[in-house]
Amino acid sequence: MDKLVIDGGTRLNGTVSASGSKNSALPLIAASLLPGEGTTTLNRIPDLKDTRTFLRLLDELGADAAYDGEKLTISSRCIRCIRAPYELVKKMRASIYVLGPLLARFGRAEVSLPGGCAFGPRPIDLHLMAMEKLGAEISIQNGYIEAKTQQGRLQGARIEFPISSVGATGNALMAAVTAQGHTTITNAAAEPEIVALCDFLAAMGARIEGTGTSTLEIDGVATLSAVEFTNIFDRIEAATLLAAGAITGGSVTVTGADEHHMQTVLRKFRQAGCSVTVSNQNITLESPDVLEPTDVIANPYPLFPTDMQAQWIALMTQANGISQIVDKVYHERFNHIPELVRLGARIEIDGNEAMVYGPQTLTGTTVMSTDLRASACLVLAGLVARGTTEVLRVYHLDRGYEKIEEKLRALGASITREQYQEFG
């Protein structure tokens, strides 16, 4: 297994580039399975563990894919298999994205119940409800979702989500674009990743109105055409890199980032006393002498993202005062806090609220990652901690951050990747 070893206390300064977004890349890849002719080309696809897992899933289904670490080409002409096996799906919750495209293409699908990050209940009920609304019959057999249509083609419908869900919105979109008739999706997610998926599907020939709003109107088409498309940047990675500059008292510029996708996070950085400037898709953060305590409430886009909650808690351990962080998306996403306390943080938890008391002097020790964003949180804490911090189980980190230690080293961090034996 790999771990990251960090010698903290160095101010980070310099420029790094933002990678393509993981959270948009995976549904884009899944959409290549939809009915259509030709070869899909996707640019700016990040080289991540999740990307490689999804490509293995495509291979299992029969697609022909070639990937060079940036550009991905996919031909789904030879797909015959409709079964997404447990061995791959258990590694990544986003594998559920193949459910809609396989149903749309073949009228049936078998997808293992998903795995992924280990925090709280993350049900797939909304995905299944959307497929049922579109005419699929759903059953759970031996750990697999078995879905089929009676008429061989999904039927347009009205889908009303009780809560906004990025994953369920994406799956419903991919299923609906070739369904017969008209589909309305209400309380749809409006995250940039969903906008990117809408733009990709529209380029393929889908008829979608309301992109970027909470109501999507789709008129189904019989088939789509393969196109070339460029993925958006990863707003969570960009914000994490800016936080690395802020927590160490440095100055960091992230290139290739769209400020419009990060307005709430950038506003919070400014409230914390940081200077943030934007020019030509370059975002520069200069940290203050003293960070100000800043409350955040994690909510669906365009509000503060739950995927930055853990990193913000790490940052607020260095602020001069008390900060309150509330997560209204995932109420149990606080597995990183006990590990931060091991480093010397003072944090109190009450339900889905955390009170962070700062500034606290963190001292390096060995900590363990429990999920993707918790890993990033612990790396940030290690960057400012005195002495050496070892972050174990960084395979979680590799799911969503492309070569993160290389980017941090480019900014001046003392961070290395080493192998270790976890047991025995």
Secondary structure of residue 16 in the 3-state scheme: strand
Tokens coding 342: 């091991």
- Whether 307 has a binding-site annotation, put simply, is yes
User: Could you give the angle at the alpha carbon of 74 between the alpha carbons of 71 and 77, nearest 5°?
Assistant: 170
Going by DSSP bridges, is the β-strand pair 388-392/366-368 parallel, antiparallel, or unpaired?
parallel
DSSP class per residue in 323-370: EEEEESS-TT--TTHHHHHHTT-EEEEETTEEEEEE----B--EEE--
- Whether 126 has a binding-site annotation, put simply, is yes
- Whether 93 has a binding-site annotation, put simply, is yes
Tokens coding 242: 């800016």
- Whether 194 has a binding-site annotation, put simply, is no
Q: HSE of 389 in the Cβ direction (CA atoms, 13 Å)?
A: 30
User: Is-contact 159 187, C-beta < 8 A?
Assistant: no
As beta bridge partners, residue 215 has 186
- Whether 329 has a binding-site annotation, put simply, is yes
> For residue 163, with 0-12 CB atoms within 10 Å meaning exposed, 13-18 middle and 19 or more buried, which class applies?
exposed
- Whether 124 has a binding-site annotation, put simply, is yes
User: Is-contact 207 218, C-beta < 8 A?
Assistant: yes
Q: Does 198 participate in catalysis according to the annotation?
A: no
Secondary structure of residue 181 in the 3-state scheme: coil
Catalytic residue among 81, 117, 274, 377: 117
- Whether 327 has a binding-site annotation, put simply, is no
- Whether 207 has a binding-site annotation, put simply, is no
- Whether 282 has a binding-site annotation, put simply, is no
CA distance 291 to 310: 17
State the binding site for UDP-N-acetyl-alpha-D-glucosamine.
93, 122-126, 307, 329
Q: From the annotation, which residues make up the binding site for phosphoenolpyruvate? A: 22-23
Known binding residues are 22-23, 93, 122-126, 307, 329
Residues tagged active-site: 117
